[in-house]
Chain A
Amino acid sequence: MINLRKNKDLAAVEGRRIGLDNVMTVLAFVLLLVIVVIPISMIIYNAFFHEGKFTFSLIVDQLTRSTTVSSMWNTIKIGGLVTLFGTIMGVFYAWLLGRSNIPGKKLMRSLFTIPYMFPPFLGAMAWDLLLNGRSGYLNRWLVQTFNLSSAPLNINTIWGIVFVEVSYYFPFVFMQVVSALERMDPTLEESARIAGAKQGTVIRTITLPLVVPAISAGALLILISSLAHFGVPAILGFSQGIFTLPTRIFAVISRSGGSFEGIRQAAALSILLVVVVALALLLQRKVLSSGGYDIIKGKSMRPTLINLRGARIPLFILAIVTLGVVVLVPLVMIFLVGLVRAYGLPLIPANFTLANYARIFTTSGTLDSIKNSLVLAISAGVISMTLGTLIAYVVQKIKPKGTGVLEILSVLPYSIPGTVLAIGVILAWSGSLGVSLYNTLWIILLAYMARYLSFSMKTSSAALLQVHPSLEEAARTCGATHTESLKDITLPLIRPAMISGFFLIFLPAMREVTTSVLLYGPYTRTLGVQIYSLRDAGMMPQASALGSVAIVLIIIINAIVTAITADRKGV
Chain B
Amino acid sequence: MAQVQVKLEHVTKRFVTKTLGDIVAVDDFNFEVYEGECFSILGPSGCGKTTALRMIAGFEDLTEGEIHLGGRPVSSSKRNLYVPPEERDLGMVFQAFAVWPHKNVFENVAYPLRIKKVQRSEIERRVKEALHHTSLTGLEKTYPSDLSGGQQQRIALARSIVTNPKVMLLDEPLSNLDPHLRETMRFELKELQSKFGFTIIFVTHDQSEAMALSDRMLVADMGKIMQIDTPENLYNRPINRFVHSFLGESTFLNVVIKDGKVYAKGDMEHPLDLEAPPNAEPEMIMATRPNAIELTAEKGYRTHVQTRIFLTDRTEYVVPIGDQTLKVQTPHRITFSQGESCSVRFVEPMWYPVEDADAEKERQRRQLI
Direct contact of A and B (CB under 8 A): yes
A205 CB to nearest chain B CB (Å): 8
Residues of A within 8 A of B86 (CB): 193-198
Residues of B within 8 A of A198 (CB): 86
Provide the bound-state CA to CA distance between A294 and B163, in Å: 27
Residues of A within 8 A of B101 (CB): 210, 293-295
Provide the bound-state CA to CA distance between A89 and B321, in Å: 75
State whether the Cβ of B111 lies closer than 8 Å to any Cβ in chain A.
Answer: yes
Q: Is the CB of A304 within 8 A of B94?
A: no
With A187-B96, A187-B98, A191-B94 known as contacts, the answer to whether A294 contacts B145 (CB < 8 A) is yes
State whether the Cβ of A489 lies closer than 8 Å to any Cβ in chain B.
Answer: no
Q: Is the CB of A195 within 8 A of B115?
A: yes
State whether the Cβ of B102 lies closer than 8 Å to any Cβ in chain A.
Answer: yes
Residues of B within 8 A of A293 (CB): 101-102, 145
Most A CB contacts (10 A, CB to CB) among B57, B102, B159 go to: B102
Q: In the complex, what residue of chain A is closest to B92 when comparing beta carbons?
A: A194
Residues of B within 8 A of A209 (CB): 102
State whether the Cβ of A190 lies closer than 8 Å to any Cβ in chain B.
Answer: yes
Residues of B within 8 A of A185 (CB): 96, 98
Interface residues on chain A, number (Cβ under 8 Å): 25
Residues of B within 8 A of A349 (CB): none
State whether the Cβ of B336 lies closer than 8 Å to any Cβ in chain A.
Answer: no
B176 CB to nearest chain A CB (Å): 9
Residues of A within 8 A of B243 (CB): none
> Contact string, A200-212, partner B, CB cutoff 8 A, digits 1/0?
0100011001101
State whether the Cβ of B91 lies closer than 8 Å to any Cβ in chain A.
Answer: yes
- A–B complex contacts, Cβ < 8 Å, 13 sampled: A188-B98, A190-B57, A190-B94, A190-B98, A194-B90, A194-B160, A195-B111, A195-B115, A196-B86, A196-B87, A196-B116, A212-B102, A293-B145
B265 CB to nearest chain A CB (Å): 43
State whether the Cβ of A15 lies closer than 8 Å to any Cβ in chain B.
Answer: no
State whether the Cβ of A402 lies closer than 8 Å to any Cβ in chain B.
Answer: no
Q: Is the CB of A206 within 8 A of B115?
A: no
> Contact string, A295-306, partner B, CB cutoff 8 A, digits 1/0?
101100000100
Q: In the complex, what residue of chain B is closest to A194 when comparing beta carbons?
A: B92
Which A271-315 residues sit within 8 Å CB-CB of chain B? 291, 293-295, 297-298, 304
Q: In the complex, what residue of chain A is closest to B59 when comparing beta carbons?
A: A190
B169 CB to nearest chain A CB (Å): 8
Other than the known A187-B95, A194-B92, what 14 A-B pairs have Cβ atoms closer than 8 Å?
A185-B98, A187-B94, A187-B96, A188-B98, A193-B85, A194-B85, A195-B86, A196-B112, A205-B111, A210-B101, A294-B145, A295-B101, A297-B96, A298-B96
Provide the bound-state CA to CA distance between A191 and B85, in Å: 9
Provide the bound-state CA to CA distance between A197 and B85, in Å: 9
Residues of B within 8 A of A206 (CB): 100
Q: In the complex, what residue of chain B is closest to A304 when comparing beta carbons?
A: B59
State whether the Cβ of B42 lies closer than 8 Å to any Cβ in chain A.
Answer: no
Q: Is the CB of A291 within 8 A of B102?
A: yes
State whether the Cβ of B84 lies closer than 8 Å to any Cβ in chain A.
Answer: yes
Provide the bound-state CA to CA distance between A285 and B101, in Å: 20
Residues of A within 8 A of B84 (CB): 193
Residues of A within 8 A of B159 (CB): 191, 195
Q: Is the CB of B116 within 8 A of A210?
A: no
Q: In the complex, what residue of chain A is closest to B102 when comparing beta carbons?
A: A209
A41 CB to nearest chain B CB (Å): 41
Provide the bound-state CA to CA distance between A373 and B89, in Å: 65
Which B132-172 residues sit within 8 Å CB-CB of chain A? 145, 156, 159-160, 163
Provide the bound-state CA to CA distance between A196 and B83, in Å: 12
